[in-house]
Structure 1
Amino acid sequence: MKKILATISQQEWRLVWLLALVMIIITGLPYLAGYFFAPNGFTYNGLHALSPGDIPVYYSYINQARSGEIFVKNLLTPEPQAFGTLNIWWAWIGQLAGIFNLPVILAFQLSRLIMIPVFLTVAYIFIAYFFSDRAVRLTALIFLLFSSGLGFYVAAPIDALGIEGPDPYRWPIDLWLTEANTFNTLYQTSHFIASITLMILIFLLMALAFESRRKMVYAAVSGVLALCYFNFHPYYFPVIFGVLGLYLFGLMLRANRFLWREAGYLIVVFLISLPSVIYHFWLIGASPVIGQRAIQNVTNISPFIFVVLGYGLLWLGFILGLWFLWHQKKFDRRHWLLLSWFIVDIVLIYSPFPFHSRYTQGLHIILVIFTVIGLSELGAYLRTRLKPATYDFWINNSVLLILLFVIWLMPSNLYSVGRDFYFIFSNSPAITTKLFLPNGLFDAYAWLATQQSRAGVVFGADIPLKFAPGFSGHAVYAAHAHETLFFGSKAAYIQWFFLDNDYADKKHEFLLANNISYLIYSDYEKELGSFNPALHKYLHEVFSSQGVTVYQVVQ
């Protein structure tokens, strides 16, 4: 590690941190626009168009930890839970939010912004492991931060031809999947940034441990990092040990002997990190709620063609880099590490494991490094084949290369940011209700948060319930397809309840049977039907503000 760090100049670090600042600005501006340009009577809820569904879940975790609850519960489902889960990532964010009295949304965003320079620092060290030339390193970092696939160019035809249909996964992954590329990850949440940061750091430390004698410390540190990693992202246990196991197997084949020392290092990492994995298996077995949630927590991937489109020309770069390395006999153990990572990711994406989309994490890094290798070797090859004037115009032309990069590799990222600005400033009622919440609803959350007893469940429409755990601390009846147990049936009951004013006795029994203490009534609920809570004696108005009313269920 010291040798790698010694090759990185102060000028390089300044450029890395400058790029970190650029990423903070680019990924922060849409959120700031949402906050400062919210429509009258509304407040920005912190969501954007890229995979917004899970963010209220993280708000709930932060809010609980902010209130001193380290073992957080799943408040997006109404079932009682004897104990919560220790999630160290959201625990420390929530604890700091409590210490500094930060609002939940601000704590969520600050943690994301802080993690951007952390990721860039680790990523650049990882890049330096593969490249000695400083210009090539910075090129690789720029590719890593700003390259994406061809989703932008095929989105309109897919929409026009009706290819997507009712299946939301029939869409290029660079336009919807957080893990698909680095830009999406940095744009989304801090724990996704921490996830890829820990992954590449573990791989780097273990690669260095395998290369050097008496480097048990690297294995021990990797084990501690994996212990923390699997606490909040246990999905990547098969990735870490699948990649390191395949990498070690390849080294053994090359050495034509069993590598006892390296195998011992891998066992050390496994044993140190194992408690986190055991903890999650224990949770699944000990808690019916956590167990059922694990069954429901299926993260699908788009059909293969949309995965291909999601990385676009980087696939060609990957093949080009691999071909040059193999043809010129430059393929070494470093590249075998990347190829092992690639193989394991592809296998897991299409494996029986139910976390297919999650296993795209890291593919972008692999494709970028091989692409930069391929382009560097291609440039050197063409230098000897083309006339100087031709080479200078087509290859050694910074303006042309930047233009080609922007046209073919950046549009999907620009689209993601531009889409958010468009939605924020569109003033469309359909969009406003997704990105902004009525001020009266925030008032209702604040009132609910003051109620000493939070044993009862809150009932209402989809959007008010999504954010209630994060801003009030109360559990809700149904709010999330994965987090809410048996979400489909509960969503149907919500539709039935607000459809009309019939079956008053049955609706009262329904509320009591599900331990529902409060009902939120706002424009969101009015859209579901003609139900009027003021007509029913089993509901008692306890709070009202700016068109949002909270009713307490009469016991």
Structure 2
Amino acid sequence: MRDRVGAEWRWVAVAAIATLILIELPFLFAYSQTLPDRVFVSIWAPHDYAQYAAAMREGASSGSWLIHDHLTGEPHDPVFMYTLYVALGKLAAALGLDFELAYHLAEVAARAVLLVAVYAFASAVLSTVHRRRLAFVLTLFTSGLAVFAVGARVVGAELGTTPAELNWPEVNTFLVLLTAPHLQLGLAFLLLAARYYLVSWTSTSVANPAVAGAMALALGLTNPFSLVTLCAVVTVHLGLMWLPSRALPRRAIWSGITILLGSAPLLAYNLLAFAADPFWSLTYGQQNVQPSPPPIQLVLGLGGLLVFTLSGLRGFLRRPTPGTWFVLVWIALSLGLMYAPLQVQRRFAFGLHPLLAVVAAVGLEPVWRWARRERRFPRSLLRPLSTLLLAQVLFGSTAILYAAAIREASDPYGRALNEASGFAAQAAAPGSGVFQSRSLKDTALWLAGTMGPNDVVLAENATGNYLAAFIPGRVFVGHWVATLDHGPKQAATRRFYRGDLQPEERRRFLAANNIRYVVYGPIERARGGSLPILTADLVRVATYADVTVYEVAPPLPIGRRAQVHGCVTPSLGERPARSECRPRTIVAAHLG
């Protein structure tokens, strides 16, 4: 028995290591492309990286576990959020690690935990090793029918819709492996909480309820949206299993209780913080709209996996167990929450893909055996053809997604946008892609050493987004969720950089928003406005290649002399020392 269990987990270890290497390749490509004038940010959703990096830096510089929103200009109270990154920042500071290195190591570690969690959950539901392995592969590598959508586009046809798996990690576990550590760990803790809950139905060990509760608590610290799904599924499942005999195993009851107790504090806190707090309820509350894809996109995004799920239902229900009913209840509630009238519908899809894969493994097993059956010629030709077709239906879109990741990672200048995937959306906006200019990073480091926590920087949305990852202060605009009133602020910023404001209007705009620094880089210049001259309200203080920083001087009575700091222009990649900044005298004058 031990030998069989050991062999089973050795297979998991080999498969997990191979998967980790496969996923790491795009990141290695990206790091190899960090040229003297380019730095790597993130492969998937680089515009979200600033939130995590800012939490790391604030965690490292503060004894508190609360963080501020660095992507909006308004002062506000800190909140208990992004705890994983706060802890990671504190750990990196204690060990003397570079923050970017610490973040990437966390990505790799989170992937490893998720891979183990996927198999552990499958082992709690499926009875045979063969089905568990099929579920593992299906969970990690299947996607939908985007490969056919891309093929249709190549020949000039359009399907009229885009499959969901290329844009939403919630319905594609392979895509989760490319995302931020908290999403990977969130899915892992969700599956592990479910796994130990299910094991408690057949085991008398007190460890299972304790671990289930601990996993629920960890889930609340990484992806609290999934607590709603987990608590709902456990509650309904316990009620459903109680109905036939009016009795439940004691350990199963305790597992349910520990999950609910582990979830309750963070559920309550998040509800209060993001529904009742006057600031956070507007940014990460009302502005955080995450609609589910239309049903047709969801069906196309699941593709062949959904077909095998439906075909495997009969076999899955042949000998029902608590795990069988748990999976079916979870699928039903997940779909219900996804299309309930809630702002964050899509977040409740987390876990749906692995669940479908577990059922699909039962449906795929006989098809796989038929495809692998030995036949005489010419029927023997069916074997390679059927295998190829099966692989194309199940894994073709994943191959396209992986190729898109490699392509983005090897294109530091963003010259080749990938229209075949969700990477196109993040690369389409100038300056918001996988790479950023070295001059902008040098500017961010200069601001990090100069700004105070209450200072505000004005820059275009993509520029501000990147700066927020480094600075102790805040940016005026930088993220569609984290920036309060993002749309109006983005429009006002564009008017400023287009030169639409008169001098007096510009002065009032800067003062009203407490802006101390104004950044002019390539994106800002692209708006068409001219660079500000050295006047009483804007004084150049730093220049890094194509990025210039201006400081907003305080208003003075007419004719009054004051000193402001100006900096000599450093060379590319060189951060100006304090001695390079020297006072300069200017005279306030009328600007209107």
- Give 1:125's aligned residue: 120
- Give 1:523's aligned residue: 522
CA contact (8 A) 1:23 1:116 kept: no
CA contact (8 A) 2:56 2:85 kept: yes
How far residue 35 of structure 1 moved from its aligned partner, in angstroms, is 2.2
CA distance, structure 1, for counterparts of residue 129 and residue 275 of structure 2: 51
CA displacement, residues 183-212 of structure 1 (integer Å, 9 cap, x when unaligned): 111111211111111111111111122334
- Give 1:420's aligned residue: 405
CA distance, structure 1, for counterparts of residue 211 and residue 101 of structure 2: 32
Partner secondary structure for residue 551 of structure 1: strand
How far residue 86 of structure 1 moved from its aligned partner, in angstroms, is 4.3
- Give 1:253's aligned residue: 243
Which deviates more, 147-156 or 305-314? 147-156
Q: Which runs of 5+ in 1 are unaligned?
A: 165-169
How far residue 273 of structure 1 moved from its aligned partner, in angstroms, is 2.6
CA displacement, residues 141-187 of structure 1 (integer Å, 9 cap, x when unaligned): 222221111112114546956777xxxxx521111111212111111
CA distance, structure 2, for counterparts of residue 174 and residue 286 of structure 1: 33
Aligned residues: 536
CA distance, structure 1, for counterparts of residue 148 and residue 159 of structure 2: 14
CA distance, structure 2, for counterparts of residue 208 and residue 349 of structure 1: 27
Partner secondary structure for residue 542 of structure 1: strand
1:282 aligns with 2:272: yes
CA displacement, residues 243-282 of structure 1 (integer Å, 9 cap, x when unaligned): 1122222212332x25484445423432333111222233
The residue type equivalent to 2:30 in the other structure is G
1:77 aligns with 2:72: yes
Partner secondary structure for residue 544 of structure 1: strand
Partner secondary structure for residue 118 of structure 2: helix
- Give 1:66's aligned residue: 60
- Give 1:167's aligned residue: none
How far residue 346 of structure 1 moved from its aligned partner, in angstroms, is 0.4
CA distance, structure 1, for counterparts of residue 324 and residue 546 of structure 2: 61
- Give 1:504's aligned residue: 503
The residue type equivalent to 1:373 in the other structure is V
Partner secondary structure for residue 331 of structure 1: coil
- Give 1:466's aligned residue: 465
Q: Percent sequence identity over matched residues? A: 25
CA contact (8 A) 1:324 1:377 kept: no
How far residue 496 of structure 1 moved from its aligned partner, in angstroms, is 0.9
CA distance, structure 2, for counterparts of residue 301 and residue 104 of structure 1: 33
1:362 aligns with 2:351: yes
CA contact (8 A) 2:451 2:471 kept: no
1:188 corresponds, among 165, 172, 179, to: 179
TM-score (norm 1): 0.89
The residue type equivalent to 1:273 in the other structure is S
CA contact (8 A) 1:51 1:177 kept: no
CA contact (8 A) 1:88 1:228 kept: no
CA displacement, residues 106-130 of structure 1 (integer Å, 9 cap, x when unaligned): 2222111112222222222222223
How far residue 415 of structure 1 moved from its aligned partner, in angstroms, is 1.4
Partner secondary structure for residue 472 of structure 1: coil
1:89 aligns with 2:84: yes
1:37 aligns with 2:7: no
CA displacement, residues 204-243 of structure 1 (integer Å, 9 cap, x when unaligned): 111122334x555422332232123223322112200111
2:324 corresponds, among 326, 330, 335, to: 335
Change in Cα spacing, 1:137 to 1:401, as seen in structure 2 (3 Å) is farther
2:230 corresponds, among 214, 220, 240, to: 240
How far residue 381 of structure 1 moved from its aligned partner, in angstroms, is 8.7
Partner secondary structure for residue 54 of structure 1: helix
Partner secondary structure for residue 485 of structure 1: coil
Q: Which runs of 5+ in 2 are unaligned?
A: 418-426, 555-592
- Give 1:55's aligned residue: 49
CA distance, structure 2, for counterparts of residue 20 and residue 350 of structure 1: 34
- Give 2:442's aligned residue: 443
1:16 aligns with 2:5: no
2:364 corresponds, among 353, 368, 375, to: 375
How far residue 91 of structure 1 moved from its aligned partner, in angstroms, is 2.0
Partner secondary structure for residue 43 of structure 1: strand
- Give 2:307's aligned residue: 316
User: 1:124-203 counterparts in 2 under 5 A?
Assistant: 124-155=119-150, 157=152, 171-203=162-194
The residue type equivalent to 2:514 in the other structure is N
CA distance, structure 1, for counterparts of residue 159 and residue 512 of structure 2: 43
Partner secondary structure for residue 519 of structure 2: strand
CA distance, structure 2, for counterparts of residue 260 and residue 128 of structure 1: 20
Which deviates more, 226-235 or 542-551? 226-235
CA displacement, residues 293-342 of structure 1 (integer Å, 9 cap, x when unaligned): 2111111222111110111011110111102334xx32332211111110
CA distance, structure 1, for counterparts of residue 24 and residue 371 of structure 2: 40
CA displacement, residues 362-394 of structure 1 (integer Å, 9 cap, x when unaligned): 1211121111111224567999xx996599948
1:231 corresponds, among 214, 218, 221, to: 221
- Give 1:269's aligned residue: 259
Q: RCO greater where, 1 or 2, for CA within 8 Å and sep 6 or more? A: 1
CA distance, structure 2, for counterparts of residue 470 and residue 452 of structure 1: 13
Change in Cα spacing, 1:155 to 1:482, as seen in structure 2 (3 Å) is farther
Change in Cα spacing, 1:442 to 1:8, as seen in structure 2 (3 Å) is farther
CA distance, structure 2, for counterparts of residue 175 and residue 86 of structure 1: 28
CA distance, structure 2, for counterparts of residue 453 and residue 144 of structure 1: 46
The residue type equivalent to 1:549 in the other structure is T
Which deviates more, 464-473 or 155-164? 155-164
Partner secondary structure for residue 455 of structure 1: coil
1:346 aligns with 2:340: no
